Chains A and B, each alone.
Chain A
Amino acid sequence: MSVTSLDKDLDNLTFTLVADFAAPVERVWQLWADPRQLERWWGPPTYPATVEEHDLTPGGDVTYFMTGPEGDKHRGWWRIASVDAPTSLEFTDGFADADGVPSADMPVTTTRVTLTERDGGTRMEMRSAFDTREQMDQLAKMGMEEGLREAVGQMDGLLAG
């Protein structure tokens, strides 16, 4: 069980996803709340994440870097808007330069995640939205330049098989 439904809303430039997991809400929350677990799923296998700061409180920061196959490091950040453990989390996330300073020319999205108990498992609903049209353009540009993520996604499938 994983992705149950997915919606790409061009009207509102919003991405929504519903996933169902065969684990209790508390357990799924740990995937977000425990930095050691978060770093095992946030980045793709070829760009594993290392979480440094992890402060899941309103106004708090999560900072991390992803290490690429060439040893290249890519920094990212979250700013926590609201948190209600173990059921909801809202944050903006973006990229940062080598010193951890948020990059203005990289896309920022705002994501809201909710976890609810469902049939003994957990339903995770998440909604990501671009703050501005420029940011959406930046993500599109990154995707086209790298042409990478799709390939990485396919590798995920192979590894999972």
Chain B
Amino acid sequence: MFHALSDTTRRDILRRCVRDDLSVSRLAEAYPMSFAAVQKHVAVLERAGLVVKQRRGREQIVRTDPDAVGRARQALDELETAWRGRVERMSHLLAQDAEPDAHDPTEGQI
């Protein structure tokens, strides 16, 4: 999935195929590139599990899997929450250096 979304064309394909079920040939009309090139982009998205392809008559219909896209977003949100907390705690530890009295290990021993 790593590089599945890195291309703007692929992102655009994802967006279009949330709203409508589009065939690969319909999609190909939307981009200034060959049918084969669009097909290749769809294949990358399909391998990443972000779209599913269904045969309908002679057409290949592409549909975005909103759950997969949602999971990607959720996972990145998880990292954000974890790291925001960590950075905050790092800041606090560093701030304690500036006020050594607050954590003087000899405190109360004299």
Chain A interface main SS type: mixed
Task: Output the least CB separation between B87 and chain A (Å).
Answer: 5
Chain B interface main SS type: helix
Known contacts being A13-B75, A133-B1, A136-B1, is A6 close to B97, with CB within 8 Å?
no
Whether A40 contacts B93 by the Cβ 8 Å rule is: yes
Complex contacts, B86 vs chain A, CB 8 Å? 41-42
Known contacts being A12-B6, A13-B75, A23-B97, is A132 close to B83, with CB within 8 Å?
no
Complex contacts, B6 vs chain A, CB 8 Å? 11-12
A27 within 8 A of B: yes
CA distance A41 to B88 in the complex (A): 8
Chain A contact residues, CB within 8 Å of chain B:
1-3, 6, 8-13, 15, 17, 19, 21-23, 27-28, 31, 37, 40-42, 44-45, 107, 109, 124, 126, 128-130, 132-133, 136-137, 139-144, 149-150, 152-153, 156-157, 160
Q: List 26 A-B contacts (CB under 8 A).
A: A3-B87, A8-B80, A10-B73, A10-B76, A11-B5, A11-B6, A12-B5, A12-B6, A13-B75, A13-B76, A15-B80, A17-B80, A21-B90, A23-B97, A31-B94, A40-B89, A41-B89, A45-B89, A130-B1, A130-B75, A132-B1, A132-B2, A149-B81, A152-B85, A156-B89, A160-B92
